[in-house]
Amino acid sequence: MVTHTTTSVVTIERFIIEQERLHPEASGELSGLLYDLALAAKMIASKVRMAGIADILGATDHENVQGEVQQKLDVISNEIMIKALDHGGRLCCMASEEEPDMIPIPEKFKTGNYALLFDPLDGSSNIDVNVPVGTIFSIVRKISPGKRGTMEDLLQPGRRQVAAGYVIYGSSTMLVYSTGQGAHGFTLDPSIGEFLLSHPNIRTPDRGKFLSVNDAYEAVWTDEVKTLMRHYRGLEGDRGAMNVRYVGSLVADFHRNLLGGGVFVYPSNGKSPRGKLRLLYEANPLAFICEQAGGKASDGTQRILDVNPTELHQRTPLYMGSKLDVELADRVLSGIATAV
Ligand code: AHG
Ligand code: MN
Ligand code: MN
């Protein structure tokens, strides 16, 4: 691991190169892909910043595959991701939360050894009220034979990710990514258009301050989930009460909890037995980052990164964040123990 202090100025490009040097066998393909993602992030950031001014707010008429009305910026961000990444020769295929099927690499472009899955704009229903939104990405190695990718490449368990990350378009734009050697954060300096290393080697506290959950669903939670919430609120066991913070943008809730310590919870419930969040575009990449920062992520029965996906838009219950708080969730939900 190359160590940096926050006082030295390190661009994301230089950081990626330095990380690559740790792997003499690396072809540079993954580094190139990460550059392209940083470029796409800057392009989306500029659109998000201009949203109010350019009068591109509001919903389009189209519904996405999840049956949700797409915001215009969802469509734009999806387009930016595809156009920034389809021609670099590093990908064999892609998948997006906003597209029903696999996104093939056009025949006119070369293909590469990786597959990319992404949520182009997470939390998009919050755009109209100026709440942070984000982009989430997951990179896996191509495993299918032949040049073009197949569903086999996309439907891999999260532990096989070679890199994952997210971008948060908040009061500043930050990109956090990991290639399995710690999680590192970069802040966009808009005056020079560069992501600069601002949060090297992020570590999340073992015990969290914040509980992020939408408790409007309380009436449809299972008894085990209700018990877990009593623990988190200090009404049962000896964990002590957490503060509740819920933005409703997964990236924003996750980012705050990653830095400050906390747990993000989106359980299954009577209405949605698999919860709401998508395994491949949301849970897997954030679980990868979370583990790299010393945290944990579970679906209540197993480690998120060990779930074998069977379909692109599969949903999963999610308990993710500070290690001890996720372990408490696993124990309470399995009925093994209730004490911390
Ligand atoms: P997206 O905007 O990509 O569809 O994701 C929305 C997600 C996620 O960002 C957030 O954590 C969750 O929806 C909030 O759901 P509820 O409104 O049901 O709490
Ligand atoms: Mn999302
Ligand atoms: Mn989305």
| CA 97 to ligand 2 centroid distance, Å | 8
H-type alpha helices, 118-268 = 151-154, 223-232, 250-260
Q: Is the CB of 318 under 6 A from ligand 1?
A: no
CA of 122, closest atom in ligand 1: 3
The residue ranges of DSSP E strands in the chain, in sequence order, are 59-63, 69-71, 91-96, 103-104, 114-122, 133-141, 161-169, 173-178, 184-189, 194-199, 210-212, 243-244, 262-266, 296-298, 318-321
Provide the pLDDT for residue 339.
44
**Domains, the chain, ranges and CATH?**
12-199 (3.30.540.10), 210-334 (3.40.190.80)
117 lines ligand 1 (CB under 6 A): no
pLDDT, residue 340, reads: 42
Tell me the sheet residues that pair with 117: 95, 138
pLDDT along the chain (340 residues), means of 10: 71 94 87 97 93 60 65 90 98 98 98 98 89 97 96 98 97 97 97 97 97 96 96 96 97 98 94 93 98 98 98 98 98 74
Q: How many CA atoms are closer than 13 Å to the CA of 58, on its beta-carbon side?
A: 6
122 lines ligand 1 (CB under 6 A): yes
Backbone angles phi, psi at 286, to 5 degrees: -70, -35
User: Tokens 């988190």 map to which residue?
Assistant: 232
Which ligand 1 atom lies nearest to the CA of residue 251? 9
Which of 127, 276, 316, 319 maximizes ligand 1 atoms within 8 Å of its Cβ, making it the mutation to test the pocket?
276
Distance CA 7, CA 17 (A): 19
pLDDT of 336 = 75
Name the nearest CA neighbour of 313 among 165, 102, 75. Answer: 102
Q: Give the pLDDT score at 126.
A: 86
Q: Which atom of ligand 1 is nearest to the CA of 264?
A: 11
| Ligand 1 contact via 119 beta carbon (within 6 Å) | yes
Say if residues 319 and 326 touch (Cβ distance below 8 Å).
Answer: yes
Rg of the chain on CA atoms, in Å: 19
- Closest residue CA from atom 11 of ligand 1: 250
Q: Is 123 in the pocket of ligand 1 (CB under 6 A)?
A: yes
**Distance between Cα 100 and ligand 2 center (Å):** 15
For residue 303, the number of C-alpha atoms closer than 13 Å in the C-beta half-sphere is 13
